[in-house]
Chains A and B, each alone.
Chain A
Amino acid sequence: MGKRQKQKFNLRISSVTENLEIIRDFISRIALKGGFDSENADQVALAVDEACTNVIKHAHHHDARRMIDINVFLLNDRIRIDVTDTGKGFDPKNLSEPNLAKYAQEARHGGLGIHLMRSLMDEVHYDFKTGKKNRVSLVKYLNKQNA
């Protein structure tokens, strides 16, 4: 496998759900460029949609003046996407594993999205600095692509 330079792509976009489609297209194209097949590129785009939806709803409260920063890194063996907001963080460590009876309640608080992110990606990391920036990092490896 030949080494390749790390490539970085940035998108800074207004924090509104209307932009989710643009965000998905942006992510999907980069994932394809990085060697993911279309199914896996779609999965990465869905995970980023979930991360951004949580930011728009729970951190920025649909305030269109606030911005989401999306930084994408294409590395030799993986793609990493950092989604950064400037709102109050939501700590997913307080969220338990899926419980069907609690789904309806969790759905209102972004719980389904966090479970999806964990399922679709190989790694999900959170970095909370209350009152400052909160960041979720999503990682997917090329060699773990589902057949």
Chain B
Amino acid sequence: MSGFSVSRNDDANISKLYLSGFLDAHTVPKFEEALQSCLNDEQYNIIVNLKDLDYISSAGLGVFMGFIEEIRESGGDIKLTNLSNKVHKVFDLLGFPALFEIYDNENEANQKFTSG
């Protein structure tokens, strides 16, 4: 089974989450746990790197929506990087580029956090 995994790497006040595999209604709890652990640690600047994400359904997109309000109210943000064309298409179809900042790579997202 291909499954899904998420790993986290903190760099000063920025948490980076690396998603890999298939994010659907079955695997979203792992992603929710990872985001919740960031909030529990009061890490509100979050970069989600989707380089190795092969698939996302609306259940996965719903996780971003479920967390973004609280994170922005706490002065942080979720910035997305390294989307494959396939994953980007799904974000596009639901109008997510109007709601989330999407960058080609982590450096750009990092700069936005540190300069903003």
> CB within 8 Å of B: which residues of A?
16-18, 20-21, 24, 39, 42, 46, 49-50, 53, 56-57, 98, 100, 103-104, 107-108, 110, 112-113, 115-116, 119-120
Determine whether the beta carbon of A108 is less than 8 Å from that of B24.
Answer: no
Question: A53 CB to closest chain B CB, in angstroms?
Answer: 4
**20 A–B contact pairs at CB < 8 A?**
A17-B24, A17-B25, A21-B2, A21-B22, A24-B55, A42-B55, A50-B57, A50-B58, A53-B57, A53-B59, A57-B25, A103-B65, A107-B58, A107-B61, A107-B62, A108-B62, A112-B94, A116-B93, A116-B94, A119-B93
Q: Collect the chain B residues with CB atoms within 8 Å of residue A116's CB.
A: 57-58, 90, 93-94
Q: B112 in the interface, Cβ–Cβ < 8 Å?
A: no
Q: B12 in the interface, Cβ–Cβ < 8 Å?
A: no
Q: Collect the chain B residues with CB atoms within 8 Å of residue A20's CB.
A: 24-26, 57
Contact with A along B1-23 (1 / 0, CB 8 A): 11000000000000000000010
Question: A136 CB to closest chain B CB, in angstroms?
Answer: 15
Residue of B nearest to A112 (CB): B58
> CB within 8 Å of A: which residues of B?
1-2, 22, 24-26, 55, 57-59, 61-62, 65-66, 68-69, 86, 90, 93-95, 98-99
